[in-house]
Amino acid sequence: MDITKFTAIELAEKIKSKEFTAREVTEASLALIDAKDNEIGAFLSIDREGALAAAAEIDRKISAGEDAGVLGGVPVAVKDNICIEDMTTTCASKMLENYRPPYSAHVVDKLRAAGAVIIGKTNLDEFAMGSSTENSALKKTANPRNTAYVPGGSSGGSAAAVAAGFVPLALGSDTGGSIRQPASYCGVVGMKPTYGVVSRYGLVAFGSSLDQIGPFARNTKDAALLLDVIAGPDQRDSNCAPEKLTGLNELNDIDYSGLKIGLPKEYFETEGLDSQVRQKVEAAIEKFKTAGAEIREIHLPMIKYAVPTYYIVATAEASSNLSRFDGAHYGHRCGDATDIIDMFSRSREEGFGEEVKRRIMLGTYVLSAGYYDAYYLRALKVRTKIADDFANAFKEVDIIAAPVAPSTAFKTGEKTNDPLAMYLSDIYTISVNLAGLPGISLPCGEADNGMPVGLQLISAMNQDAKLLAVSAGFEELG
């Protein structure tokens, strides 16, 4: 069978109706990875045995007439900062290169309960810090559309695995755009849910107040199904909402005559917005208009501070979260330490890459006694104002439409020596994390060089079901 031809929903149906066995589908996924992943580099590890055993169990259930789950037999890839018991969870860092967690993330339990077959773990920027997956200490990942280009990041491996057709579904994490931006660069759908919709238990923490796990898929329907599987309460994450959002997988028809779409003036005025990206995004908005939606200009005046605010809040939280990697508790420990301080500092020096160290230093600085008020506290205040801007906008409109990133995928190596240019590729996505909102990235065309352009749709908090419905509606507008 050719696994690249089917959506996750189709695969689950065909396995259930015995047109394919789960084993055939799993083998097709593994064979394609064997044939092509040396060129793409999406995976850091493959769980061949575990995947085949899971598939065998699905086939057994189906022949016994038991319920195999909504994802029964569907291959799924998982970003390698999400823990799976007894599989390496490296965060693409030398620090955790050989780390095997003794437990699985909540989302992994949910995937398994729904019958998904976990194929392997995907590459990322080290500890999810980056926008191109070039910060991985373990591997390079190429964009399946054109291997000279980056897949985006930090969930570049998951985006590439779906874009290459290795798997129809993958999980990523999004702290400042790490699902939406690589989805846009690779031409697939990626969604960051409302903060608290999905449990972070078992996700290696980067910026805990920003991190959310979310789905990658080739279309919105598949993404909605995957989100519906992983969403819901979990007592082990105190920020996880106590009630599961309803209707995530319903994708209600859109009444365009009642739909108001806001275009943030500030987003379209940014210097550095590529003209082809602008053109494709504007053409997408035109389609909504033709369908009957009302298009309004809106203002998010504080958005201009989103990048600096994010790089204060995210680095502060990262510096604190990453203090646990000290050579004593987990991961890499240096050899021949002279005393405990030497062990802490050399283990960290050897285990962390350059970008991770840069973030820890920035974060430690903004949290230090002398600068806490000037930077960290002020950033928290601006964060609230950014959230207020969105809340005001959503009094007027149902959905905000915007670019995902200022440009399409760039070439490998193009921005590695310019961290600031790299940070700016998140300019349209990070405010959504700062405000805790849901955002989705979906393909809306290609640039002249053939690289995909993404459209970002954003809704008010907990309106994830509406956001998915509008995204699915857009796909139907053709």
For residue 176, state whether it binds ligand GLN (rule: CB under 6 A).
yes
CB closest to ligand GLN, residue no: 178
Smallest distance from ligand GLN to CB 377, Å:
21
Other C-beta atoms lying within 10 Å of the C-beta of residue 273: 18
For residue 128, state whether it binds ligand GLN (rule: CB under 6 A).
yes
For residue 174, state whether it binds ligand GLN (rule: CB under 6 A).
yes
How many residues sit in the footprint of ligand GLN (CB under 6 A)? 13
User: Which residue, 210 or 401, has its beta carbon nearer to ligand GLN?
Assistant: 210
Query: What is each CA distance from 361 to 109, 129, 206, 357, in whole angstroms?
Result: 35, 14, 14, 6
For residue 407, state whether it binds ligand GLN (rule: CB under 6 A).
no
User: Which residue, 298 or 437, has its beta carbon nearer to ligand GLN?
Assistant: 437
DSSP string, 413-461: TSSTT-HHHHHGGGTTTHHHHHTT--EEEEEEEE-TTS-EEEEEEEEST
Other C-beta atoms lying within 10 Å of the C-beta of residue 39: 11
User: Which residue, 21 or 184, has its beta carbon nearer to ligand GLN?
Assistant: 184
For residue 438, state whether it binds ligand GLN (rule: CB under 6 A).
no
Which amino acid makes up residue 12? A
For residue 321, state whether it binds ligand GLN (rule: CB under 6 A).
no
With contacts defined by CB under 6 A, name the span among 1-9, 35-43, 128-136, 467-475 that binds ligand GLN: 128-136
5 is catalytic: no
- Three-state SS for 380? helix
Q: Which of residues 195-214 bind ligand GLN (CB under 6 A)?
A: 206
Nearest to 356, CA basis, from 127, 80, 97 = 127
For residue 27, state whether it binds ligand GLN (rule: CB under 6 A).
no
Specify the DSSP element, H or E, that contains 296: strand 294-298
154 is catalytic: yes
For residue 426, state whether it binds ligand GLN (rule: CB under 6 A).
yes
For residue 432, state whether it binds ligand GLN (rule: CB under 6 A).
no
With contacts defined by CB under 6 A, name the span among 40-48, 176-184, 366-374, 401-409 that binds ligand GLN: 176-184
Half-sphere exposure of 209 (CA within 13 A, CB side): 14
63 is catalytic: no
Q: According to CB under 6 A, which one of 93, 131, 212, 471 is a site residue for ligand GLN?
A: 131
User: Which residue, 128 or 261, has its beta carbon nearer to ligand GLN?
Assistant: 128
- Three-state SS for 217? strand
Cβ neighbors of 242 (< 8 A, separation 6 or more) are: 233
* Axis-axis angle for helices 8-16, 220-230 (nearest 10): 70
Please give the residue ranges that form the binding site for ligand GLN (CB under 6 A): 128-131, 154, 174-178, 206, 314, 426
Active site residues: 79, 154, 178
